[in-house]
Every structure is written in C-alpha cells, then in structure tokens.
Amino acid sequence: MKVLVGVKRVVDFNTRIQVKSDGSGVQTDGVKFSMNPFDEIAVEEAIRLKEAGLATEVIAVSIGGDKNQDTLRSALAMGADSALLVKTDDEIQPLMAAKILKNLVEQQQPKLVLLGKQAIDDDANQTPQMLAGLLGWPQATFASKLEIDGDTAAVTREVDAGLETLSVDLPAVVSSDLRLNEPRYIKLPDIMKAKRKPLEVIDLADLNIAASASIATLKTSAPPQRQAGIKVESSEALVAELKARNLV
C-alpha cells in the first residue's frame, strides 16, 4: 500500500505572529518556518503504517517555494521514502492545493492519502475534504486513531458527543487530529540519511492545472489586546464577581 502524505511549510507554531503595518498580511521576513504540526502527525502515522508492514512506500508531497525542500527533507528524515515538491511562488489556496494533490494522486496511485486536519497558517480545514470530493473518494477527517484492515480503514474521530468510529473503503483521504500520535524526534543520522533520499521537483506550470484563486484577503489585523485578569481571595468572591458580570 502506497501512502501519500501532504506536508505544508508554515510559520512555526512557537512564533509570535506580527501583522504588517499596512495590513497586507503577516511578517514572514526573518521568521522561523516548520512543517505544519498536523502534517508531522500525518507523516508519523504513515511511517508507523510502514513499520507495521501495512504500507509499502511513503511519499511526502509539498506545494510551494524552493524552501519547502527543507520541510520535505524533515519528512524524509522522519522516515518517508521519497518526496515530491510542486514548485510555485504563488499563494496556494485550499481548492488549488486539492487540485494539485489530485493530479499527484493520479500519477502516484496511492491507496491512502494522509493530510493534516488543517494548516495552522490559514486554519482553512478544507484541502482534505476538497481532495476527497474531487477524487470521488471516501474521507475520514480529524482522525485520532487509524486501523487498516485489508481494503478498509477504521478511523476514530473526536466529535462533540465523544468518539465516533467510521469504516471507509480504500482508497481514501484521512486527515490527522492532534491525538493520532506523537511524532518522533529526528536524530542526526536520520538527517544525514535523508539527504540521499530522492526529492523530485516539478514546476506547477508543467501540471497544466488552471489557476483558481477564488478568495481574496482584504485585510489582516491583529486581535484586540486582552484585558488583564483579576485575582480573587475566595470562592465566594469568585461567585460574587461572576454574578456581578452576569456570567452565572
């Protein structure tokens, strides 16, 4: 079973985001970028499937600029077998990402596509669903447990009422939630080994996919400053404060 994993390069989750003074976006100069945390979980899950003898090959794919090669090298260091970069300097919105991933799926014929449930830069949570729709494949989003049994996958998802387990026929698109696993720590020898693994770069223009940017960002602004909290001396004082603010 071949597994294709989406890997997006995003501003590191530990970075304090600064909005540009003209409101045209967030500062990216001199800012640390890393693999989208949910994609790290997806890569880890794919590698675990390979280690369990359920997957035969793990291909990490990314769409973006040349620097995405670093992100793909991290996926290779974690244990992916090969990597594919679809190179573009344009902004890639979820529908376009889904169209590009569909093209790669048609080329690579994986039985499972593992993506993150959302990218922490756009927080869109759309690409996996759109990809499944475009492919006409089953989808199981927000996976917190994945079990493969022959041509089906049992996917446990965290929903408001608790845990829900879906059975989907493969091929399918699955998106990872936070509790699916804890990604492994990359060791230095793995980084060295990753340098020798295949990483193919394809120009987006060569895939002949009609550009589709249907969303325009009008303005980016910082959230309002949070008010400082207050300290109360007793639970009675806490209840009195909450009552005074009509919160209980």
Q: Which of 122, 138, 171, 199 binds ligand AMP (CB under 6 A)?
A: 122
Nearer to ligand AMP, 43 or 54 (CB): 43
Tell me if 115 contacts ligand AMP by CB under 6 A.
Answer: yes
Residue selected from 44, 73, 76, 118 as contacting ligand AMP according to rule CB under 6 A = 118
Q: Contact between 125 and ligand AMP (CB under 6 A)?
A: yes
Residue pair 41/35 in contact by the 8 Å Cβ criterion: no
Residue 137 phi, psi dihedral angles, 5° rounding? -100, 155
177 binds ligand AMP (CB under 6 A): no
**Spatial distance between the Cα atoms of 156 and 136, rounded to a whole number of angstroms:** 21
- Report the distance separating Cα 20 and Cα 26, nearest Å: 5
Angle CA 138–205–41, to nearest 5: 40
End-to-end distance of the chain based on CA atoms, in angstroms? 54
Query: Exposed (0-12), middle (13-18) or buried (19+): which is 7, by Cβ within 10 Å?
Result: buried
Residue among 63 and 80 whose Cβ is closer to ligand AMP: 63
Nearer to ligand AMP, 94 or 110 (CB): 94
Nearest to ligand AMP of 77, 101 (CB atom): 101
**Interaction of residue 142 with ligand AMP, rule CB under 6 A:** no
If one asks whether residue 126 binds ligand AMP (CB under 6 A), the answer comes out as yes
**b/e 16-30 (16+ beta carbons within 10 angstroms → b):** eeeeeeeeeeeeeee
The pair of structure tokens assigned to 45 is 């899950």
Closest separation between CB of residue 199 and ligand AMP, Å?
14
Q: What's the closest the beta carbon of residue 87 comes to ligand AMP, in angstroms?
A: 11
Site string for ligand AMP, 30-69 (x = CB under 6 A): ------x-xx----------------------xxx-----
Query: Tokens standing for 90?
Result: 């344009």
48-56, 115-123, 214-222, 223-231 -> range binding ligand AMP (CB under 6 A) = 115-123
Q: Are 80 and 43 in contact (CB under 8 A)?
A: yes
Q: Does 139 bind ligand AMP (CB under 6 A)?
A: no
Q: What is the contact surface with ligand AMP in residues (CB under 6 A)?
A: 6-8, 36, 38-39, 62-64, 92, 94, 97, 115-116, 118-119, 122, 124-128
